[in-house]
Amino acid sequence: MAEAALKIEQPYVRVRGMTRPDLQDKAPLLITRLRERYPHLQERQTHGWLQTCCGANEFYFVRSDRAYLLAHRSQEFLDPRPIVREIFAIGELRTDKVKPGSDAEKFQSEQNAIAVNEVAELYAGLLRWCQSIGAGEVIIDKMSDVPLGEKGTSDPGTLREIFARNNIKLYRGEEIFAALDPHAKIRKLGA
């Protein structure tokens, strides 16, 4: 006789809008992570910009207990529908130096997995927001802790699978640009 499969439910992730009081607590984390990608930014400048994003209609700025997502809505004059661009989707990842193979390393990797799962859950809300504003495109994976995932695989914690669950197909585009400052670091294009 066959036994019933054990169904493991994902823990509930409470998502809420990012507010200025939240930012007072979480700004150091967000600014540190942003400066990894954008080292030219100053702390005070970045903090002011994040405050501007809180509650502004053109931004989707949400958080859970361990994850944060910021996206920007824009619409060019000639475009019939708005475009949403992910700015970041990051989690509170622990980077403590721990002894390999120790309980501390196991705990740290479990906590990081929970944080990445929460980041992944924020994408569902982003998709609902995009649909509610009638967006034609959403550009993702610019600065995300959630892996893109391989084509043809069904790993539930990847961007491909999150969008597939919502019946949305991902496309890869190509950008052509010229670096006008020969001494500047060339930016990396999204995956």
Phi, then psi, of 142 in degrees rounded to 5: -85, -45
Note whether residue 91 is domain-resident.
yes
- Between vectors from CA 66 to CA 145 and to CA 114, what angle results, nearest 5°? 70
Any alpha helices (H) in the chain, and if so which ranges? 20-37, 43-53, 103-132, 159-165
Note whether residue 174 is domain-resident.
no
Note whether residue 73 is domain-resident.
yes
Note whether residue 71 is domain-resident.
yes
Matching residue, tokens 């990012």: 18
Q: Which long-range contacts (CB under 8 A, 24 or more apart) does 98-107 make?
A: none
Note whether residue 60 is domain-resident.
yes
The pLDDT score that the predictor gives to residue 187 is 54
Q: Does pLDDT of 191 surpass 50?
A: no
Note whether residue 138 is domain-resident.
yes
* 176 burial via Cβ count (<10 Å: 0-12, 13-18, 19+): exposed
pLDDT tens per residue across span 15-55: 889 999 999 999 999 999 999 999 989 999 999 999 999 98
Note whether residue 96 is domain-resident.
yes
Residues 6 or more apart in contact with residue 59 via CB below 8 angstroms: 53, 70, 71, 72, 73
pLDDT tens per residue across span 132-186: 999 999 999 889 999 988 877 777 778 888 888 888 888 888 878 777 877 666 5
Position 5 confidence tier, pLDDT thresholds 50, 70, 90: low
Q: State mean pLDDT over 49-66.
A: 94
Q: Give 108 or 138, the one with higher predicted confidence.
A: 138
The pLDDT score that the predictor gives to residue 164 is 87
Q: What CATH number has the domain bearing residue 33?
A: 3.40.630.30
Domain count for the chain: 1
Which range marks the domain in which residue 24 is found? 16-165
The answer to whether the predicted template modeling score (pTM) of the entire model surpasses 0.75 is yes
Q: Please tell me what DSSP assigns to residue 51.
A: H
Q: State mean pLDDT over 104-112.
A: 85
Note whether residue 87 is domain-resident.
yes
